[in-house]
């Protein structure tokens, strides 16, 4: 058999294997597409502005903060700045694809979450004064959770729900860290900020727990429209990033206690040119 004949035989075999899979691919009809409309774009625009303004606010607060507290400001600045970029991309019609369920998916949202949620866990870990190994573990786990969610979104059938279950399992572990693991460290290392940590960790745990609920009824079953999905995700993003950040950064007394400023003796002030009470004869 000549070389050309062998090549033709191989190509025929490959086509024989590939064509059945190609025929099995379902092409979405235009009428079946579920796309974001002006309602969804409105919520994208509002959230884009909220994230952008919050980023500027965090930067201004960072300029006023002392060096020891700026690590919290820098972390939150990157959280809202990356979210601002993400919402601008979605508002501009970028970073999306059509899922097997003929639904518009903004995958750029998951790229943003994979960057910002580890930073939010970092903030909680810094409040708890966790060591670097602990921080790396929870930040890596957070990225795993988001990756599982992305794979669940672009999958179909039982594969979708398997990915969702894996992602949900990681979330439960992270939620335990937030409401128990880090809290134990706070009680041990900085009991004076327990109220602050309890407030922000509860907000984070509840808001993060609602994301899977939105997934189930939107990307999961498709019962909720893409517009309603965007509205809910926008509200949750504002709660978990903006509200969370301002609670942390505006808790001046709590952060002062954390960095060891409370209870320190005041620095002596100079008394140049001030007359003494001693009288001279």
Give 36-92 pLDDT, tens digit per residue.
Answer: 999 999 999 999 999 999 999 999 999 999 988 999 999 999 999 999 999 999 999
Closest Cα partner for 146 from 95, 212, 81, 201? Answer: 212
Look up the pTM and report it: 0.83
Segments of the chain scoring below 70 in pLDDT: 1-26, 261-281
Q: What pLDDT, on a 0 to 100 scale, did the predictor assign at position 233? A: 98
pLDDT at 266: 39
Q: Report angle CA 229, 232, 237 to the nearest 5 degrees.
A: 120
CB-based contacts of 9: which residues, under 8 Å, 6+ apart?
Answer: 1
Quote the tokens at residue 19: 């064509």
Using only the alpha carbons of the chain, give its radius of gyration.
Answer: 26
Residue 279 is predicted with a pLDDT of: 41
pLDDT at 261: 54
Q: Which residue has the tokens 């796309």?
A: 35
| CA angle (176 as vertex; 220, 190 as ends), nearest 5 | 140
CA dihedral 218, 222, 227, 232 (to 10 degrees): -20
Residue that the structure tokens 């400001």 belong to: 73
What is the reported pLDDT for 86? 98
* H or E segment and range at residue 226: helix 226-237
Phi-psi label, residue 129: left if phi above 0, alpha if psi -120 to 50, beta otherwise: left
The predicted structure's pLDDT at residue 59:
95
H-helix or E-strand spanning residue 160: helix 157-176
Strand ranges, E, within the chain = 97-98, 104-105
- pLDDT at residue number 13: 46
Report in angstroms the alpha-carbon separations of 187 from 115, 181, 182.
29, 10, 9
CA angle 141, 143, 144 (to 5 degrees): 60
Q: Which tokens go with 280?
A: 């001279």
pLDDT computed for residue 18 by the predictor: 40
Q: Which pLDDT score is estimated for 276?
A: 45
- pLDDT of 19 reads 40
Q: Which residues contact 251 (CB under 8 A, 6 or more apart)?
A: 193, 196
| Residues 86 and 111: beta-carbon distance below 8 Å | yes
């Amino acid at each position: 058999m000549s070389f050309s004949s062998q090549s033709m035989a191989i190509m025929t075999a490959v086509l024989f294997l590939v064509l059945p899979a190609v025929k099995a691919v379902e092409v979405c009809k235009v009428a079946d597409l579920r796309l974001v409309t002006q309602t969804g774009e409105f919520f994208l625009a509002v959230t884009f502005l909220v994230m952008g303004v919050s980023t500027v606010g965090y930067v201004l607060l960072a300029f006023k903060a002392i060096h020891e507290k700026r690590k919290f400001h820098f972390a939150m600045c990157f959280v809202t700045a990356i979210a601002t970029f993400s919402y601008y991309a979605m508002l501009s019609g970028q970073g999306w694809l059509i899922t097997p369920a003929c639904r518009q998916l903004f995958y750029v949202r998951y790229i943003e979450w994979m960057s910002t949620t580890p930073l939010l866990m970092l903030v909680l870990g810094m409040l708890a004064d966790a060591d670097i190994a602990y921080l790396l573990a929870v930040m890596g786990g957070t990225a795993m959770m988001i990756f599982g969610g992305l794979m669940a979104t672009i999958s179909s059938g039982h594969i979708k729900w398997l990915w969702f279950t894996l992602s949900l399992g990681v979330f439960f572990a992270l939620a335990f860290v937030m409401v128990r693991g880090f809290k134990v460290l706070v009680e041990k290392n900085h009991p004076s900020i327990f109220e602050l940590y309890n407030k922000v960790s509860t907000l984070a745990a509840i808001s993060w727990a609602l994301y899977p609920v939105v997934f189930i009824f939107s990307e999961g079953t498709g019962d909720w429209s893409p517009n309603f999905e965007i509205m809910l995700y926008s509200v949750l993003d504002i709660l978990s990033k903006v509200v969370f950040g301002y609670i942390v950064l505006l808790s001046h007394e709590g952060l002062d206690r954390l960095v060891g400023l409370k209870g320190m003796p005041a620095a002596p002030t100079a008394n140049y040119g001030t007359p003494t009470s001693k009288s001279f004869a």
